[in-house]
Amino acid sequence: MKSYFSLIKFSHTVFALPFAMLGFFLAVRHTDQGIPFRLFLLVLLCMVFARSAAMAFNRYLDRDVDERNPRTRSREIPAGVISPSAALSFVVISSALFVACTWFINPLCFALSPVALAVILGYSYTKRFTFLCHFVLGLGLSLAPIGAWLAVTGSFEVLPLLYSAIVLLWVSGFDIIYALQDEEFDRSMQLRSVPVALGKAGALRLSSVLHVVCAALVVVAAWQLEQHYPDFGWLHRGGALAFIGLLFYQHTLVKPNDLSRVNLAFFTTNGIAGVVFGGLVILDLWV
């Protein structure tokens, strides 16, 4: 069990899960109903199964590349801890469970489940033909808030789509920072990424631009929330300020000639940002 948790990097759930919960509780507030705990559990299970399928498939597809990369050759499949066939079986089971959960949510979520799987599983191929792979990853995680909203309401609205755009820009930006570690290796393997296409300095500039736009959308989302719900207090504003502050803080940690703190910027800073932001907005919805 520990090996499979490591395979799917379960701890990285902190990136998308707070926004999925934000989308869910926004929808509950929007429909002016009590918290539907059965639906909450189904949304949570969808998040876990979809993300598990995506991460395991990425590890399965990249097993040969990971074996050649000194940074990744200790991962479970190259190290022989989990066999490729076992990892692929895990992907199939997780995908089936994800689709099954959407069946019990509503017809729209069930109908869209293959689209969601196509995006999150298809991401694993993108590094082989386009440097836009980071944006496909961002798109995959951006499905969390709108998916949770659809689970409750069964209809599209601007506000959850705004949060999806925030996630897309946020994730794409910090994934570019993470990819800096493998620039030389990716180039030698003819893999595509923004650092390969633009170099370290250019990649960091693009990441900064994405996060500036992301910060602007966070402000717009906070304003929209107050237009929809005039009783909102200071908690969501504090969450927005903390998120924006941590967004920019990570860019002080990484320089083109110093990548020693990439993991601090990638996981710790962004993990805290997502949890604090999502948690405070959800709290403001109910306090």
- Give the whole-angstrom CA distance, residue 213 versus residue 269: 18
Q: Which of 140, 148, 56 lies closest to 102, judged by CA?
A: 148
- In the chain, what percentage of residues exceed pLDDT 70? 97
Q: Return mean pLDDT, the chain.
A: 92
Q: Which of 71, 92, 175 lies closest to 126, judged by CA?
A: 175
Q: Which two tokens stand for residue 204?
A: 């960091």
Name beta bridge partners: 258.
255
pTM over 0.85: yes
Ordered DSSP codes for 134-146: HHHHHHHHHHHHH
Q: Domain segments of the chain: what residues?
A: 2-286
Q: What's the chain's Rg over C-alpha atoms?
A: 19
Instruction: Look at residue 82 and tell me whether its pLDDT is greater than 70.
Output: yes
Q: What is the dihedral of CA 245, 247, 253, 256, to 10 degrees?
A: -140
User: What are the pLDDT digits (tens) for 133-190?
Assistant: 999 999 999 999 999 999 999 999 999 999 999 999 999 999 999 999 999 999 999 9
* pLDDT band at 3; cut points 50, 70, 90: confident
| CATH classification (class only), 2-286 | mainly alpha
